[in-house]
Amino acid sequence: MQVNSKDIDFYNLGFGFIETNKMFISDYKNGNWDEGNLVPLGLIQLSPAASILNYGQGIFEGLKALRAKNGTITLFRPEENAKRFNRSAERLFMPRIDSKKFVDSIKKVVKANEEYIPPYESGGSLYIRPLMIGSGPILGIAPADEYKFIIFSSPVGPYFPEGFKAIDLEISTKYTRSSVGGTGFSKSCSNYAGTMMPAKEAKSRGFSQVLYLDSIHREYVNEVGAANFCAVMDNTLVTPELDGTILEGITLKSVLKLSEKKLNMRTEERKLSYKELFTDACTECFCTGTAAVITPIGSVQIEHSLKVFNKKLPGEITTKLYQLLTGIQRLEIKDDFNWIHEIS
Ligand code: PLP
Ligand code: COI
């Protein structure tokens, strides 16, 4: 049920779905997208034979609209979400969406739901979720011939309830999230279903999330269920190379740029053995994502080996990067890279 924006406690939001006013829907039929339009947020009808329901033919994106101090509404690099959406669409054998249509439709959804953008002081945001599903009926395994492109939004607070506090991760020796040649680099719905049980098990043991390793050697760091992984080693920012098994994070890409250009750090995208995290050279770790922003990692544990970073306090570089990134996103630090879209 739609919630009146006046009844929302924007200062105590978690990362959960709250219904807003409007959503955008565009339909693909006979090889073409219709123009699409804003409609009241509500249920959609699907055939039980829809390809999304049977074979998981679906992809999504995630980005945030923020309210800056002066009231301006900002988006962060939405054209990068458009590019990634189309990379995902290609891998899942789905039709492309014109990037301009993707970004313009997001802006329409934000404007239509403006009253749900949390105030600047709350630190919250309007999370925007573009998605595409195969809606056409299909029985044999083949792409649908009809699709729906939908954008909805929800006001959110921090993804990890800890906020900008360090989280504890369990390195899984049992589960992996993707494999070479698979769909790990894409934001396909099916990549996430398989991470729910591992996350629940890790949480029951007191961890915030799982840190996955590669599926062949069970040694190299892959990523966290919904965020990329970075380690600081000897003043170098190290992140696992994007080998097709890792989602190419827009926050990660931005953090690499900020480390090089603003903190004069070296960056390395390479295979990163989990064993390196347990050496003295590794002084800070954090994860990055739209929902996770930059979340410090207080400890990693694999079986009985535990490594605690910086007494579980956010490290110096992690903190600097967090301040730079969120400062740019909230128009408090000059946007030297043309990352911000202002919505008027
Ligand atoms: N990895 C996974 C599996 C994700 O779901 C996300 C979130 O989008 C990320 C990484 C971080 O990507 P981004 O920074 O583009 O949000
Ligand atoms: C995001 O950070 O936008 C994500 O998609 C992560 C998660 C909520 C799936």
Assess whether 235 and 206 both reside in one domain.
yes
Assess whether 230 and 127 both reside in one domain.
no
Assess whether the C-beta atom of 290 lies below 6 angstroms from ligand 2.
Answer: yes
The answer to the question of residue 68 being in a domain is yes
Domain that includes residue 94, residue range: 5-156
Assess whether 178 and 324 both reside in one domain.
yes
CA dihedral 56, 105, 186, 129 (to 10 degrees): -70
Assess whether 210 and 311 both reside in one domain.
yes
- Angle CA(199)–CA(205)–CA(207) in degrees, nearest 5? 60
The answer to the question of residue 143 being in a domain is yes
Domain harbouring 175, CATH code: 3.20.10.10
Assess whether 26 and 132 both reside in one domain.
yes
Assess whether 37 and 92 both reside in one domain.
yes
The answer to the question of residue 120 being in a domain is yes
- Mutating to test ligand 1, I would choose from 228, 256, 257 the residue with most ligand atoms within 8 A of its C-beta, which is 228
Tally the domains of the chain.
2
Residue 290 Cα: closest atom of ligand 2: 2
Assess whether 187 and 140 both reside in one domain.
no
Helices (H), the chain: 51-55, 78-91, 99-112, 190-193, 196-204, 250-261, 274-277, 316-329
The answer to the question of residue 264 being in a domain is yes
Active-site residue 165, yes or no? no
Assess whether 213 and 299 both reside in one domain.
yes
The answer to the question of residue 299 being in a domain is yes
Domain harbouring 30, CATH code: 3.30.470.10
Assess whether the C-beta atom of 131 lies below 6 angstroms from ligand 2.
Answer: no
Instruction: Convert 11-50 to b/e letters by CB count within 10 Å (16 or more is b).
Output: eebebeebbbbbbbbbebeeeebeebebeebeeeebeeeb
Residue 225 Cα: closest atom of ligand 1: 3
Which of 126, 156, 186 lies at the terminal end of a domain, its last residue? Answer: 156
Assess whether 129 and 231 both reside in one domain.
no
Per-residue pLDDT of the chain (344 residues; tens, 9 = 90+): 678 898 999 999 999 999 999 999 999 999 999 999 999 999 999 999 999 999 999 999 999 999 999 999 999 999 999 999 999 999 999 999 999 999 999 999 999 999 999 999 999 999 999 999 999 999 999 999 999 999 999 999 988 877 789 999 999 999 999 999 999 999 999 999 999 999 999 999 999 999 999 999 999 999 998 999 999 999 999 999 999 999 999 999 999 999 999 999 999 999 999 999 999 999 999 999 999 999 999 999 999 999 999 999 999 999 999 999 999 999 999 999 999 999 98
What separation in Å is there between the alpha carbon of 14 and the centre of ligand 2?
14
